[in-house]
Amino acid sequence: MQCEWQALFSCIHAGFVDDFFATSWHNSSMDRASLPDLNSLDRDRLLALISTQQEQQEKLDAMLAAREEELHRLEAELVSYRQTLSQQADELHSRSERIEHLKLMVEKLRHVIFGTKSENFVIKLEQLELELEEQETTQAEAEAVAERVSSGKEAKLRPERKQLPEHLPREVVTHAPKRDCCPDCGGQLRHFGDDVSEQLEYIPESFKVIRHVRPKFSCTGCDRLVEAAAPSRPIERGLAGPGLLAHVIVSKFSDHLPLYRQSEIYARQGVEISRSTMAGWVGGASDLLTPLVDAIQKHVLAGCKLHADDTPMPVLSPGNGKTRTGRLWTYVRDDRPAGEETAPAVWFAYTDDRKGEHPRRHLYTFRGALQADAYAGFHHLYGEDIYEAACWAHARRKFHEIHVVHQSPTTTEALARIGALYAIEEEIRGKPRDLRLSIRQARARPLLDGLRTWMEKALRSLSSKSETAGAIRYALSRWRALTRYTEDGMLEIDNSAAERALRAVALGRKNFLFVGSDCGGERAAAMYSLVGSAKLNGLDPELYLRTVLARIADYPVSQIQDLLPWNLAPSIQTHTTRAA
């Protein structure tokens, strides 16, 4: 039996030793020779040895399990840490883009604020002056309408008028009867007195008084009184001559001088004209010129291509001194760049808000191409009758604004490519439409195809949140409308014609700060239409209005087209040449 136990333990011992040295982490410090000789061990000591070795193996396994668990925990922490680092990297990138965006916006605002001079104050007195000016002008216009439609038998009582200053030079104009004998009996006329009235007139940089004298005659045979008819005036019983009236209107709507400031200027020249008096003149003139503005509107909308744009018009709310935002719309007809001889003109319209229903009403009769910006209010107009031609100036401006404050190779490339398109337009401006079309197809179309390919490639390499990517998306989203000008020689590459028309409004808005009422906005739109159309036809607006106001009071409404700027231009320019 003793031999059998020894043989059994010898086998267990051999296997244990092999396993022990194969798995033990400290086998380098142990040696098989250090183990006791099993042949010399009895059964109890051999069992004790096996038990000890098993305990050590269990401890070793436990240590290995603990270390493996620790390794798994560390690996999990590493994965979590890497995820955290990735999230932090994304947040950092997003924050960096936001910072760059804010820096760009700050630079843009600084460029706007400090790039031009600006007035950042509004004087309460000026608000009240302008509000009163608008109310008085509106009242005068309403009175002019009422007088025109009334029987005219009862004249309105007016305050006694001050005598015109004696220091002003007088020009006497004598209006003699058409015949030198009595119209009833043919008897000889005897001069027994004069009817004298005075009219204040304005010659550039000076005043003068025109004294209208109508000699009164009586017939020696039948005592019939004979006298020339009183000359017509732009405003019935008005003091202002056509020259002064034109000067006041142009000073207000072209030179941007409110009436109360004009009153101060005239007072320095020794002529006191109150603001309320001039408001009455402007209101009366606005009523008188309404048929002419309607004729300009009809001419503008008769074209096959229009340039359209709009701009804010602050309007004073009555009572509280605050302003609300009205809107001034401009529609320009100018086909001269396409070699056409049709007269250019601009028509302005005022509305109290920017709803899309307004351009729909304005363009109800129009058919053709509408060149405009991306204002959503125009989009519902596009269809079979009206189609969109977009503005490359708007697309270019988005790149230019970024380039000014944050130049990059992408913005540089974009501006250069768009500039090449404008270089072609400069060469063909004023050429016939067919020639313009053929040159655009041959030269501009390939450049546009290359520009689109470049934009799409550049967009893939830019952050979706960058300003440059936004400028590219703006152009690509309107590509069909932006390239339509290459399909019609009548169309233009941009909407600069409308933007030029609105510059006068921007200057006026800066000086006026606001208009006093919705009626004031409508009146401003009418006057901007007349002044702007005169400028487009190469006329001095003041000379044009002076000519019109001298004639329009007695002019048949059915022939009002004769007084449009392009129809008066030859006679006005001839007169100016002779005077020079």
Q: If pLDDT is split at 50, 70 and 90, which confidence band does 178 have?
A: confident
pTM of the entire structure? 0.70
| Single-letter amino acid code for the residue at 322 | K
**Helices 467-477/445-460 angle, 10° precision:** 140
Which long-range contacts (C-beta less than 8 Å, at least 24 apart) are formed by 556-561?
A: 557/291, 560/291, 560/292, 560/295, 561/295
Q: What is the pLDDT of residues 520-531, one digit of tens each?
A: 889 989 999 999
| Percent of the chain clearing pLDDT 90 (strictly above) | 42
Determine the Cα–Cα distance for residues 261 and 265; give it in Å rounded to an integer. Answer: 6
| Long-range contacts of the stretch 53-61 (C-beta < 8 A, 24+) | 53/16, 53/20, 57/19, 57/20, 57/23, 60/23, 60/24, 60/25
Q: Judge residue 274's burial from the number of C-beta atoms within 10 Å of its C-beta, 0-12 exposed, 13-18 middle, 19 or more buried.
A: middle
pLDDT digits (tens, 9 = 90+) for 342-377: 999 999 999 999 999 999 999 999 999 999 988 878
For residue 393, what pLDDT is reported?
94
402 against 320, higher pLDDT: 402
Dist CA 415 CA 422 (whole Å): 10
pLDDT tier for residue 157 given thresholds of 50, 70 and 90: low
CA 307 – CA 491 distance, rounded (Å): 10
Q: How confident is the model at residue 454 (pLDDT cuts 50, 70, 90)?
A: very high
List the one residue out of 228, 216, 226, 215 whose CA is nearest residue 185. Answer: 226
- At 337, is the pLDDT very low, low, confident or very high (cuts 50, 70, 90)? very high
pLDDT of residue 88: 76
Crossing angle of helices 518-536/242-253, nearest 10°? 100
pLDDT in the model for residue 6 = 47
Q: Give the pLDDT mean for 492-505.
A: 90
Dist CA 97 CA 102 (whole Å):
9
Give the mean pLDDT of 517-540: 92
Query: Residue 153 — pLDDT band, cuts 50, 70, 90?
Result: very low
Average pLDDT over residues 505-514: 62
Average pLDDT estimate for 382-401? 93
- Helices then strands, counting H and E runs in the chain, come out as 18, 9
- In tens, the pLDDT along 62-95 reads 888 888 888 888 888 888 888 888 887 777 677 6
Pair of tokens at residue 47: 């069992």
Contact present, 208 and 248 (Cβ < 8 Å) = no
CB atoms within 10 A of CB 506: 12
pLDDT band at 497 (very low <50, low <70, confident <90, very high): very high
239-293 pLDDT per residue, tens: 889 999 999 999 998 888 888 889 999 998 889 998 888 988 998 999 999 999 9
pLDDT at 99: 59
